[in-house]
Amino acid sequence: MSSRGLPTPITIAEPEFGFNAAEKGDGKAMADPVTAPTMTAISLTVNGKPYSKSVEPRTLLVHFLREDLGLTGTHVGCDTSSCGACVVHLNGSAVKSCTVLAVQADGGEIVTIEGLGSEAHLHHVQEGFWEKHGLQCGYCTPGMIMTAVAFLERNPHPSETEIRDALEGNICRCTGYQNIVRAIQYAAEHAPA
Ligand code: FES
Ligand code: FES
């Protein structure tokens, strides 16, 4: 306390903006030079079409698909492997493409929502979402559908509980999931023989 009974003011040190401690000493130190990231060549097949591109090693597969290939049907919801909006198939397995580097997909075969069906000929899982109103805003839908397609390939006749378990990694903020489950049940019942 000060002599007048007031609290002693706290002195806050000046933050050290800039480069490093050595700079403060003689004023000569410089920041590490920024170097351009090395590009890496990758070749992969997306929806049956071959691509060869150069990418930064840090590029996430979801960004590669959306920004380099223009396949914006794959969505980014969280970027942290929580929501499932970014699910695609890599070599036959459903993966969250925000947790895969594009360089890790080198040589791989990818299927995105654009490669599943067409407006004229919907995939039976897409048809299920259409018939059972399995979406509202639609943001989660590509990831839901890609997850469901991979799941039904592993388990063509699932119980409701198994469907709900399979959707554990996919978040929908709109539907309450009931119609999504019905859509997948419909798809299981209407799968081509
Ligand atoms: S964006 Fe990949 S899990 Fe959410
Ligand atoms: S339909 Fe809106 S997030 Fe699922």
pLDDT tens-place string over residues 64-99: 999 999 999 999 999 899 999 999 999 999 999 999
Number of structural domains found in the chain: 2
Shortest-distance Cα residue to atom 2 of ligand 2: 137
The enclosing domain of 156 has a CATH number of 1.10.150.120
Distance in Å, CA 76 to ligand 1 centroid: 6
CB distance 118 to ligand 1 below 6 Å: no
Residue 31 is assigned to a structural domain of this protein? no
Q: Which residue stretches of 49-123 are H helix?
A: 61-63
Q: Examine the domain organization and report whether 99 and 133 are in the same domain.
A: no
Q: Which residue stretches of 70-123 are H helix?
A: none
Nearest to 188 by CA among 134, 149, 135, 140: 149
Residues with Cβ within 8 Å of residue 193, at least 6 apart in sequence: none
Print pLDDT tens along the chain (193 aa): 444 455 555 444 444 444 444 444 455 556 667 777 799 999 999 999 999 999 999 999 999 999 999 999 999 999 899 999 999 999 999 999 999 999 999 999 999 999 999 999 999 999 999 999 999 999 999 999 999 999 999 999 999 999 999 999 999 999 999 999 999 999 999 999 8
Q: Answer for the pair 67, 130: CB distance below 8 angstroms, yes or no.
A: no
Which residues form the domain of 110? 45-115
Residue 58 is assigned to a structural domain of this protein? yes
CA distance to 116, 117, 125, 163, 176, per residue, from 121 (Å):
9, 6, 11, 24, 28
